Amino acid sequence: MTPEDASKFIAYVLRHAPESVGLQLDAQGWADVAALVAGAAAAGRDLMTADVLQAVDSGAKKRFELSADRLRIRALQGHSTPQVSRSFEAIVPPPQLFHGTATRFLTSIRVQGLLPGARQHVHLSVDEATAVLVGRRHGKAHVLRVDAGRMHALGHVFHRAENGVWLTVAVPPEFLFPPA
């Protein structure tokens, strides 16, 4: 398995389908590294402990975190599995944040704003370049600017994950610029 394939596989398991490899996550999303590797092998995936450690330590995305003893791993955000309920401290966001999406979603976003979908939060970036990369994963990229300062002033809550990704429950369309 390539390092990128390993990272994508681990993200899928830890964020969305731990049961696919017989894995149990605690409420904060932690899983035993040895159980992840064993479950992957039982599911026919060639994942080694070294692959897990490399996925944590490499890449700009910083998707994962290891416990201090390096025996447990978790995805930092992006969970859709109901058993995980990460708690993040509320924090004042910068005045503007960015969201990368594919152009094919713009009609829906115009009406509904940004919704988390199957995830627990909408993910926002502090810079436009990161948002472009995120948007490209889903098709032709389009970047929306989020008036996070005004949202926060009106009572919307923001969090920042350990890897710098900004999180909020939803972004109503009136806080998106240019308008979707």
The candidate with the shortest Cα–Cα distance to 92, out of 147, 161, 159, is 159
Ramachandran class of 117: left when φ > 0, alpha when ψ lies in -120 to 50, beta otherwise: left
Per-residue pLDDT of the chain (180 residues; tens, 9 = 90+): 888 899 999 999 998 999 999 999 998 899 999 999 999 999 999 999 999 999 998 866 688 999 999 999 999 887 888 878 777 889 999 999 999 999 999 999 999 999 998 888 999 999 999 999 999 988 999 999 999 999 999 999 999 988 899 999 999 999 998 765
Q: Are strands 31-32 and 64-66 parallel, antiparallel or unpaired?
A: unpaired
Task: Give the pLDDT of residue 179.
Answer: 61
- Quick one: pLDDT at residue 60? 61
The per-residue pLDDT for 180 is 55
Helix locations, 62-171, DSSP H: 106-112, 128-136, 148-153
The tokens for 78 are 């992006």
Pairing of the two strands 31-32 and 72-75: antiparallel
Pairing of strands 141-146, 166-168: unpaired
Q: What pLDDT sits at residue 35?
A: 96
Q: Any idea which residue has 């005045």 for tokens?
A: 95
What residues does 171 pair with on adjacent strands?
A: 114
Ordered domains of the chain (ranges, CATH): 3-75 (1.10.10.970), 97-177 (3.20.170.30)
Nearest alpha carbon to residue 152 among 87, 95, 114: 95
pLDDT of residue 59: 64
Cα separations in angstroms, 19 against 12, 80, 134 = 11, 13, 26
